[in-house]
Structure 1
Amino acid sequence: MIIKKQRTSATIISVALTLLLFVTACGGSSKQASRWDSAQRQSTEQVNTSRSSGAQVLPGSAFNRFFPPSGNGFERVYTQEKQGSALAKLKQGGKEIAVLSITDTANNPKAAEKFQNSTKKVAGYPAYSLTQKDTAILVADRFQVKIQSRDDSFTEGDREAWLQKFNLNGLAGLK
């Protein structure tokens, strides 16, 4: 009788633990958002925030016409376009050598602040480098134009020369 009672207790405990595990694993059909989900949502949603100037964040498609064209052995391949930014790969001989980007800082004024104390200029615009492989300029106190080297052969001098190939005057005229 004692052995039968112990088996019954063990069975009840096993079933209870199994049910608890099942309910815990399956019970939360609504997934709690992780910090990555939040970042993804923010980067893909249409952002309509404004700076104090009242400027609306522009769609990435508004920037494509200001990128340097393909030619002279270089190929420009657009890779991403979302609200507030556009990116393109720069290839030479089929090899990716750099990433070109234009970003609207209207919804992120802190991105523009890093240029305030810049002592370097490229094409008359304040320049900034976060790493040894990137160079960025701020156009019209709003648009960050950036080039990131993907190959060691693409130097700081190359990045500065390619920044000047963007239609910077046209970009400065965007509203």
Structure 2
Amino acid sequence: MSFTALRQLCVAFSLAMLLFIGGCDSPQADVPPPPPAEQVQPADGQGAVSPQSLPGSAFNRFFPSASGEYERVYTQEKDGFAEAKLKRNGEDVAMLAISDTVNVPAAAERLRNSPNQIAGYPGATLGQTQTSILVADRFQVKVISRSADFTESDREAWLQRFDLQGLSRL
């Protein structure tokens, strides 16, 4: 075997070993350790579920009914949270949600301090797509646009279609 062939073989072997060893490296090596258990937040952003939180099924009856070209499709229900899609002619145009703010006190505080009122409740618009209100100083009712033609005024109108009085007595 010539010196050139031996050198090429050594270089090829070295590269293969570097790839092999590099591929065995833990992918979490640069990831910081998780926070202590009491600070872990679920991926859906709803926060840790408090034992005082109401079941999501308790919220379903307060959602607006489907009518005309609109269809309501429930998509998620868990302790302290219920969500439904609002569809118009088969297209998702908005998400409707009710959450118990005992799980996310910061959401209640942000709304409580809002100078805006929607349907007689403290409310706020977040960014270009979300509008929410605080009912009974506890329940966040939110409408999120999923279509560019579902505007802030549409979100406010749909917030008013929830059974807010019923929810306030929950």
Give TM-score, length-normalised by structure 2: 0.72
Q: Which runs of 5+ in 1 are unaligned?
A: 1-24, 27-31
- C-alpha deviation, 1:74, in angstroms: 0.5
1:131 aligned onto 2:127: yes
Amino acid across the alignment from 2:78: K
Runs of 4+ in 1 over 3 A off after TM superposition: 37-44, 47-50
CA distance, structure 1, for counterparts of residue 116 and residue 132 of structure 2: 11
Q: State how 1:7-18 maps to structure 2 within 5 Å.
A: none
| Identity over aligned pairs, percent | 55
Q: How many residues align?
A: 162
Label 1:83 to 1:49 Cα distance change in 2 as closer, same or farther (>3 A).
closer
Q: State how 1:67-78 maps to structure 2 within 5 Å.
A: 67-78=63-74
Other structure's SS at 1:132 match? coil
Query: CA RMSD, aligned part only?
Result: 3.4
Q: Match of 1:99?
A: 95
CA distance, structure 1, for counterparts of residue 90 and residue 117 of structure 2: 31
CA distance, structure 1, for counterparts of residue 148 and residue 169 of structure 2: 34
Amino acid across the alignment from 2:61: R
Give TM-score, length-normalised by structure 1: 0.70
Per-residue CA deviation, residues 50-94 of structure 1 (Å, 9 max, x unaligned), is: 5xxxx8101111110000011111000001111111110000100
Amino acid across the alignment from 2:129: K
Q: Match of 1:119?
A: 115
CA distance, structure 2, for counterparts of residue 61 and residue 43 of structure 1: 21
Q: State how 1:136-147 maps to structure 2 within 5 Å.
A: 136-147=132-143
Q: Match of 1:8?
A: none
Q: State how 1:15-164 maps to structure 2 within 5 Å.
A: 42=42, 56-164=52-160
Label 1:152 to 1:49 Cα distance change in 2 as closer, same or farther (>3 A).
closer
CA distance, structure 2, for counterparts of residue 134 and residue 125 of structure 1: 16
Amino acid across the alignment from 2:166: G
